[in-house]
Amino acid sequence: MNALHRDALVAACLLASVAGWVKPADASPVLDAAKLCRKALSTKGRTYADKRTRLLLNCVDKLLKCALRAEIEGENPGSCRSRAEDSCKRSVGPANDSGINRAVTAFDDKIFDACSDIGLATMLSTAAGGLWFGNDATCGMSASIPVLLDCLRGRLDVHIDATVGRTKPRAGLLLDNIGLGGNYPNLPRPPTITVTVTATAGVLNQPGVMGTISPAAGEAVKFLGDPMTVPCGGGMNGKLTITVGVGVACPPDLTMTPAQQVVIKEPYGPAEPAVFGPFLTDQAYCIERKDGGSCMDNVSGTIDVP
């Protein structure tokens, strides 16, 4: 074959190749929108899960450090716990600008922006092209995209918090003691009995039976202040300091005795708990009240584990 024939053959092959090739059509806007929504759900969900996990673990680690120093070394935990509590409120507290709520807002806003073009019906649809969230027994009846995202995020929270609880088993109790536990109900807690501290005619009553509180082995004890009878100073400055430990005197000397100590304040009630335990051995407790010049007293007793 001479050069002329060879060049002609190559040209013919190229022409045939071009003639047989058809440019694929661009993806439809509906497909592009569905892909954008799906990707946002995956990436923003992962980002939110990572952020929530880090914030909770960092907060609990600060609180746990304070508790261990008090329990093992006998250090007064007041200043350490105060710093940890301030940090936790900024990171996982209820304020709109806390770290956890900024993560919630980013999850909701970015996924809503990415999914608004395909709409709720397509997100719920189990037909071709749908994202099948309608099959979700919990979230499948959501009335709007924001409601659906709130539901899906709640499902994520259950798994995230369970993982945090396995990593830091005391997480739930530690957050309860700074008033943030109610925002994280999925953190595991031990079985708990509740003891309400009351007063009669301005004098604290001994809780339990003659001052003896009897949890079962492995149970924790939650102390609450009675908002009707414990206050007596006429303002909102009252507080109960509850200390639990082996050999605790009343009032306690934390420089000498390793102990757990939590302060609860007015207006008392379920939103202001002090949680201790779980208990496997007997320990002493002391409850001190400070509420104005004439309302300063204390009661003591035993946590008696059968």
In sequence order, which ranges of 217-261 are alpha helices (DSSP H)? none
Give the pLDDT score at 258: 66
DSSP state of 71: I
The full set of domain ranges for the chain reads 29-183, 192-303
Structure tokens at 297: 């007293």
Residue 144 has pLDDT above 70, yes or no: yes
Among residues of the chain, what percentage have pLDDT more than 90? 69
305 pLDDT above the threshold of 70: yes
Q: What does the pLDDT look like over 200-248, one tens digit per residue?
A: 988 999 999 999 999 999 999 999 999 999 998 777 889 999 999 888 8
Q: Residue 215 and residue 194: Cα distance in Å, rounded?
A: 10
Predicted local confidence at residue 257, as pLDDT? 60
pLDDT digits (tens, 9 = 90+) for 2-49: 443 444 333 333 333 333 444 445 568 889 999 999 999 999 999 999
Residue 236: CB atoms within 10 A of its CB come to 10
- What average pLDDT does the chain have? 87
What is the band of 74 on the pLDDT scale with cuts at 50, 70, 90? Answer: confident
As a whole-number percent, the residues of the chain with pLDDT over 70 amount to: 90
User: What is the arithmetic mean of pLDDT over 126-130?
Assistant: 92
Per-residue model confidence (pLDDT) at position 26: 57
| Helix count and strand count (H, E) for the chain | 7, 10
More confident residue, 76 or 278: 278
Q: Which residues contact 115 (CB under 8 A, 6 or more apart)?
A: 36, 37, 40, 41, 123, 145
282-302 mean pLDDT: 91
pTM of the model: 0.77
For position 98, what pLDDT does the model report? 97
Strand ranges for the chain from DSSP E: 192-197, 199-200, 203-204, 212-213, 220-225, 239-245, 260-265, 274-276, 283-290, 296-303
**How many degrees, rounded to 5, is the angle at CA 67 between CA 62 and CA 71?**
150
pLDDT at 178: 87
The most distant pair of C-alpha atoms in the chain lies apart, rounded to whole Å, by 120
Confidence of residue 168 (pLDDT cuts 50, 70, 90): very high
Vertex 215: Cα angle to 211 and 219 (nearest 5): 140
Residues 246-274 pLDDT 10s: 888 898 876 666 678 889 999 999 989 99
Q: Where are the alpha helices (DSSP H) in 69-98?
A: 78-92
3-state helix, strand, coil in the chain (%, to 5): 45, 15, 40
SS3 263: strand
